Amino acid sequence: MLVNGKRILLGVTGSISAYKSALLVRLLVKAGADVQVVMTQSAQEFITPLTLATLSKRPVLSAFVNDASGSWNNHVELGLWADVLVIAPASAHTLARCAHGFSDDLLSAVYLSAKCPVFFAPAMDLDMYRHPTTVENLHRLESFGNHIIHAEHGELASGLIGEGRLAEPETIVELLTAFWLQEQGVENELLGKHTLGPLQNKQVLVTAGPTQEAIDPVRFISNHSTGKMGYAIARAFAQAGADVTLVSGPTALPLPHPTIRRINVRSAQEMFEASQLAFASSEIAVWSAAVADYTPVFVADQKIKKKEQQFSLELTKTTDIAATLGSQKRPGQLLMGFALETNDERENAVKKLRSKQLDWIVLNSLRDQGAGFGHDTNKITVIDKDEQIHEFALKPKDEVAQDLVNLIAQKLSA
């Protein structure tokens, strides 16, 4: 196993997930690694240094100077000694400290001194994980060349269910193994999992939600889209390690993943302009928004009063985002679109596939119960540019999103 003989610095910080660090140390030592644990003071409130020292067979370090002996724990030497630094769990506080260069405790000083690859495995409650500060700190750390082992979805210590759980120790060991395999240029099925798969660092653009076309300052034309499908797709890409930009129409949904850059828009024109900017650097684009086909020619600057028995509204076509940007498609760029149909479903879907220069079209039929707008489930048929058909059963939208992301990942792997 590639972990054998590796010198691993394990940073443990103040999170309830610190109890998992005991299993992580055990797994790494069992795999043949030499593990040195560095704990923050707050981490010791969740798990004792004695536990981790016993498992690692090394004294745990937590301060610059050992109280008993007066000897100095040299953070520079530690940073040079390690083959990898893994901070797991990484609390919001520690992420902020490392992102901004604070070094008044041993762990953050070791991080600043490290010459080796660094992995952060965040763990915190979902609202902390989604907070713009945490999102920005994760982006900042990643921009420095560090690796983020994204938190997992599940039940949290608070009782809430969502993203924020520390990745399982087995996952972290597997990911380290995959990392060293990748360094050796070895292709392995492990590379298709977690953050080191074919989507790692791919620039992905996802559009989601409805648009609102103003009639006057009070009223607008819109549709029934909630954005759930597009947000699930953006989350699945982010969990696969992609760099995701989400252009979102008005929804009540929270940021689907802390690493996602969300651009909020309202009208079809705003969505086109935001998408056009992001499209230039995107390697993959998924057009899942329900964009208005028409918009009012004139928008009243005052609320229109109810007077006449009948009221006519002149409309004009909006820019077809998928078709316009599809015409600018670069070699190697992959595009996926959606078609919500009520009749002649496959025939209409294939027309869109061709006219918009898509690689896949995702067909929804409103005749399928539990599919389409407003549901937490969806039933899709995917048609690729070779007109091969992939049928999927009715399932939760998160699982549908994973099916779609897997199709794209398989294309990249091939």
- Give CA angle at 14 (9, 17), nearest 5°: 85
Length of the chain in residues, anyone?
414
Tokens 């990643």 sit on residue: 142
- Please, which residues bridge with residue 210 across strands? 290
Residue 279 annotated as lining a ligand binding site: no
What is residue 283's DSSP assignment?
S
Q: Check 73, 188, 223, 406 and give the catalytic one.
A: 223
CA distance 141 to 120: 9
CA distance 134 to 150: 12
Residue 329 annotated as lining a ligand binding site: no
Give the CA count within 13 Å in the CB-facing half-sphere of 38: 25
Tokens 């405790």 sit on residue: 105
Residue 338 annotated as lining a ligand binding site: yes
Beta strand pairing call for 213-214 and 220-221: antiparallel
Residue 303 annotated as lining a ligand binding site: yes
Residue 356 annotated as lining a ligand binding site: yes
Put residue 286 in one of left, alpha, beta given phi > 0 → left and psi -120 to 50 → alpha. Answer: beta
CA distance 277 to 60: 50
φ and ψ of 294, to 5 deg: -135, 155
Identify the CA nearest to 100 among candidates 134, 123, 66: 134
Q: How far is CA 206 from CA 138, 209, 223, 264, 285, in A?
A: 20, 10, 19, 12, 6
Query: 348 catalytic, yes or no?
Result: no
Residue 185: partners with Cβ closer than 8 Å, 6 or more residues away: none
CA distance 96 to 99: 5
Catalytic residues, which ones? 223
Binding-site members for CTP are 293, 303, 338, 352, 356
Q: Which residue positions form the known binding site? A: 293, 303, 338, 352, 356
